[in-house]
């Protein structure tokens, strides 16, 4: 995963078009080279290559517009705010005085479909593998060694895997550096939970986008007071908690546990 900062990267969509054109042009008229499925496969392969070792982002289906999906009760305390939609399924308990800018689906068929779609994304993301998977553990501020990153606490697009909890230390900053590639995907698979400390930061630089950052945390996530966080948390059986004064650009999903956003915190769908 060596970086070449002086070489410009071809956008995924342009690479896909070039490959599709080559496929349709080879073999002249009417052969398998003109098969729409073959062209689509070439485009998908090009997009995956541009995204990096983690591949393209998981397909969220109907859940893409949701800032929070919970399989149990949701609590929005004080001035907590979700900028996006909210779904609760199969429970229908929504507590607190916080606000939701989008639509609330509470125990209905739409909420159920959104939860199924986010769970399918969790299954996809949690089973991803790559020859370039980078092992991480413990405090991400102290990670990763090359070639998984450029220096301590700086990560390039890739697939990162831990068998246990991942943390960002209080006051710590991790940098997700796309190296000028806006299609670059950052995927962190962990065996248990994600914890970020008070005042910690997830920083996106050089084209990195929150929509391409994924935290696969089966045992849920706890985001520290006044922290800044980016990416989608895909949880399973563990609760998701956002502590006071935290800014999240992303989504917080828990398939079967509760979710809480505390006062002064905002979750904005990327």
255: Cβ contacts below 8 Å, ≥ 6 apart: 71, 115, 118, 119, 122, 235, 236, 237
The alpha carbon of residue 151 and the mean position of all alpha carbons in its chain are separated, in whole angstroms, by 22
For the chain, 270 residues long, give each residue's pLDDT as a single digit of tens: 333 333 334 444 444 444 444 434 444 444 445 676 665 556 555 666 677 888 999 999 999 999 999 999 999 999 999 999 999 999 889 999 999 999 999 999 999 999 999 999 999 999 999 878 899 999 999 987 777 888 889 999 999 999 999 999 999 999 999 999 999 999 999 999 999 999 999 999 999 999 999 999 999 999 999 999 999 999 999 999 999 999 999 999 999 999 999 999 999 999
Task: In whole angstroms, give the CA distance from residue 154 to residue 99.
Answer: 34
Query: Quick check: 22 and 43 in contact, CB under 8 A?
Result: no
At 151 the pLDDT is 83
Please give the pLDDT value at position 43: 58
Q: How far apart are CA 187 and CA 268, in angstroms?
A: 19
Which residues neighbour 242 within 8 Å (Cβ) at sequence distance 6 or greater?
Answer: 80, 223, 248, 252, 260, 261, 262, 265, 267
Unique residue bearing structure tokens 């000028």: 180
The pLDDT of residue 41 is 57
Distance from C-alpha of 126 to C-alpha of 64, rounded to nearest angstrom: 18
The tokens for 43 are 């485009």
Q: Quick one: pLDDT at residue 147? A: 78
**Helical (H) or strand (E) element with 249:** strand 247-254
User: Which stretches of the chain are DSSP H helices?
Assistant: 12-25, 36-51, 109-126
């Amino acid at each position: 995963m060596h970086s070449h900062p002086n070489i410009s990267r071809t956008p995924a969509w342009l690479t896909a078009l070039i490959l599709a054109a080559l496929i349709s042009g080879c073999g002249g008229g009417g052969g398998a080279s003109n098969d729409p499925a073959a062209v689509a496969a070439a485009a998908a392969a090009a997009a995956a290559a541009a995204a990096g070792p983690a591949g393209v982002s998981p397909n969220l289906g109907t859940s893409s517009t949701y800032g929070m999906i919970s399989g149990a009760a949701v609590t929005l305390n004080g001035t907590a705010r979700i900028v996006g939609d909210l779904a609760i399924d199969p429970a229908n308990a929504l507590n607190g005085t916080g606000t939701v800018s989008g639509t609330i689906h509470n125990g209905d068929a739409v909420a159920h479909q959104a939860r199924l779609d986010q769970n399918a994304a969790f299954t996809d993301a949690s089973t991803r593998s790559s020859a370039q998977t980078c092992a991480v553990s413990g405090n991400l501020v102290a990670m990763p060694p090359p070639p998984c990153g450029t220096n301590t606490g700086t990560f390039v697009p890739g697939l990162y895997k831990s068998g246990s909890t991942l943390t960002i230390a209080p006051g710590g900053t991790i940098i997700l550096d796309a190296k000028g590639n806006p299609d670059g995907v950052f995927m962190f698979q962990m065996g248990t939970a994600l914890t970020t400390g008070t005042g910690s930061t997830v920083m996106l630089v050089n084209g990195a986008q929150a929509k391409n950052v994924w935290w696969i945390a089966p045992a849920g996530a706890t985001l520290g007071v006044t922290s800044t966080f980016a990416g989608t948390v895909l949880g399973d059986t563990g609760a998701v908690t956002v502590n006071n004064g935290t800014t999240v650009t992303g989504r917080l999903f828990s398939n079967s546990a509760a979710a809480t956003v505390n006062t002064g915190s905002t979750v904005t769908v990327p």
